[in-house]
């Protein structure tokens, strides 16, 4: 018997004893029906996509793998063929670039020689003009001393040479970074020579001045912004005991340690006569002579 004031429960569901079940509204029924239809539709669509994307047999899986391998091989072959076809063009550009570098180096050498010649002519003309008077002769001697100290003119005299070379390796290998001569090694050598009393220094023919920079770029050591190749020969003009004083410096001790640890070549020799060219880097236009002891504390 139905409870007064209520509708009978839906088919398949019984009301608990002593309780009544409210009749569901029509809107709620429609909403539940829409959600059910949507969920079934989405689930069936995903199931269809998965079943279609998955090969139905091992033969199809093998076919897909073969197609993927073929595409990868085609792309690789295309890249190799393009590289082979472009190889002559790349080689031609490389040769042209090397020729331009050689031509530029030759031109720079010609200009350097021209600058040296003009400096010598200017020096001779200046000395001829100054030697006519007593004061001019004294000024000429002072200018010569300053030119030698600043690297403005070529010098000749006794001294020593230090040779730095990369570590020796096998025929198939190349020296590593620590087995190569670094710009810091050349700097250390030059500083040790100045400390030992050197009056003029050059690295592979590049005369050092107050504005010389010793740096590295792309694996090459630059002196006066000119790339140098190993071995590096650092020549210095100085007193008779220059080699002995240099080997007693802290810089020489560090170079010996580097040579023993990494195999870098480090040799020294005394030379009776060394000729160093004039510096080609821009020279100071203004300078101030510092008297020893001047400006020191105490």
Give the model confidence (pLDDT) of 270-286 as tens digits: 999 999 988 876 666 66
Give which of 183, 158, 154 is closest to 243, Cα–Cα.
Answer: 158
**pTM for this predicted structure:** 0.58
Q: What is residue 282's three-state secondary structure? A: coil
What is the domain-level CATH number for residue 208?
A: 3.30.70.1880
Indicate the pLDDT class of residue 217, thresholds 50, 70 and 90. Answer: confident
| Rounded Cα gap, residues 96 and 73, in angstroms | 34
pLDDT at 5: 44
| Rounded Cα gap, residues 162 and 252, in angstroms | 10
Q: Is residue 36 part of a domain?
A: no
Residue of 271 and 292 predicted with greater confidence: 271
Give which of 100, 150, 185, 149 is closest to 283, Cα–Cα.
Answer: 150
pLDDT at 99: 85
Q: Is residue 63 part of a domain?
A: no
Angle, alpha carbons 176-180-184 (nearest 5°): 130
Mean pLDDT (whole number) for 109-136? 77
Q: Is residue 164 within 8 Å of residue 234, measured between CB atoms?
A: yes
What spatial distance separates the first Cα and last Cα of the chain, rounded to whole Å? Answer: 123
Give which of 236, 240, 181 is closest to 208, Cα–Cα.
Answer: 236
Q: Is residue 21 part of a domain?
A: no
pLDDT at 202: 95
* 21-25, 28-32, 132-136, 291-295: range with highest mean pLDDT: 132-136
Mean pLDDT (whole number) for 237-263? 95
The single-letter DSSP state of residue 157 is E
pLDDT at 183: 94
Q: Is residue 249 part of a domain?
A: yes
Which residues span the domain enclosing 202? 156-276
Contacts of 200 (CB under 8 A, 6+ apart): 148, 151, 155, 157, 159, 207, 208, 236, 237, 238, 276
- The single residue listed with the structure tokens 């023993």 is 260
**Distance, C-alpha 147 to centroid of its chain:** 36
Q: Is residue 260 part of a domain?
A: yes
Mean pLDDT (whole number) for 90-97? 80
Total domains, the chain: 1
Q: Mark out the alpha helices in the chain (DSSP H runs).
A: 26-53, 58-130, 134-150, 183-196, 242-247, 250-262
| Rounded Cα gap, residues 185 and 208, in angstroms | 16
Residue of 161 and 38 predicted with greater confidence: 161
The first and second tokens of residue 216, run together, are 């590295």
Tally the C-alpha atoms within 13 A of residue 127's C-alpha that lie toward its C-beta. Answer: 12
pLDDT at 54: 52
Give which of 133, 135, 136, 152 is closest to 144, Cα–Cα.
Answer: 152
Which of 116-125, 225-234, 261-270 has the weakest average pLDDT?
116-125
Q: Is residue 113 within 8 Å of residue 246, measured between CB atoms?
A: no
Q: What is residue 156's three-state secondary structure? A: strand
pLDDT, mean over the chain:
77
Q: Is residue 291 part of a domain?
A: no
Tally the C-alpha atoms within 13 A of residue 45's C-alpha that lie toward its C-beta. Answer: 6
Q: Is residue 164 within 8 Å of residue 266, measured between CB atoms?
A: yes
Q: Is residue 25 part of a domain?
A: no
Query: Could you tell me the strand order of the sheet in which 206-207 lies?
Result: 206-207, 200-203, 232-237, 155-165, 265-276
Indicate whether 28 pLDDT > 60. Answer: no
Task: Give the tens place of pLDDT for each residue, 29-88.
Answer: 554 555 555 555 555 554 544 444 455 566 677 777 778 887 887 777 777 776 776 777
Indicate the pLDDT class of residue 237, thresholds 50, 70 and 90. Answer: very high
Which of 152-156, 267-271, 292-296 has the weakest average pLDDT?
292-296
Give which of 176, 171, 180, 188 is closest to 265, Cα–Cα.
Answer: 180
The first and second tokens of residue 160, run together, are 């020593």
């Amino acid at each position: 018997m139905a409870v007064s004031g209520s509708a009978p429960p839906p088919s398949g569901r019984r009301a608990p004893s002593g309780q009544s079940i409210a009749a569901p509204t029509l809107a709620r029924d429609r909403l539940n029906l829409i959600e059910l239809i949507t969920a079934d539709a989405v689930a069936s669509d995903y199931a269809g996509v998965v079943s279609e994307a998955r090969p139905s047999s091992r033969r199809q899986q093998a076919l897909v793998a073969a197609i993927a391998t073929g595409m990868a091989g085609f792309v690789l072959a295309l890249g190799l063929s393009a590289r082979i076809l472009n190889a002559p063009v790349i080689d031609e550009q490389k040769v042209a670039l090397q020729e331009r570098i050689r031509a530029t180096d030759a031109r720079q050498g010609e200009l350097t020689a021209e600058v040296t010649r003009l400096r010598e002519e200017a020096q001779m003309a200046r000395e001829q003009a100054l030697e006519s008077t007593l004061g001019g002769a004294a000024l000429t001697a002072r200018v010569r001393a300053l030119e030698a100290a600043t690297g403005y003119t070529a010098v000749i005299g006794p001294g020593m040479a230090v040779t730095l070379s990369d570590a020796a390796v096998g025929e198939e290998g190349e020296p590593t970074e620590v087995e190569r001569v670094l710009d810091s090694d050349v700097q250390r050598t030059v500083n040790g020579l100045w400390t030992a009393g050197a009056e003029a220094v050059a690295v592979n023919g590049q005369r050092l001045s107050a504005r010389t920079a010793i740096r590295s770029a792309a694996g090459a050591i630059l002196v006066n912004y000119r790339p140098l190749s190993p071995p590096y020969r650092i020549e210095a003009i100085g007193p008779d005991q220059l080699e002995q004083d240099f080997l007693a410096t802290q810089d020489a001790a560090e170079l010996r340690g580097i040579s023993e640890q990494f195999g870098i070549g480090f040799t020294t020799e005394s030379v009776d006569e060394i000729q160093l060219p004039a510096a080609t880097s821009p020279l100071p236009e203004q300078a101030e002579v510092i008297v020893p002891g001047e400006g020191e504390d105490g």
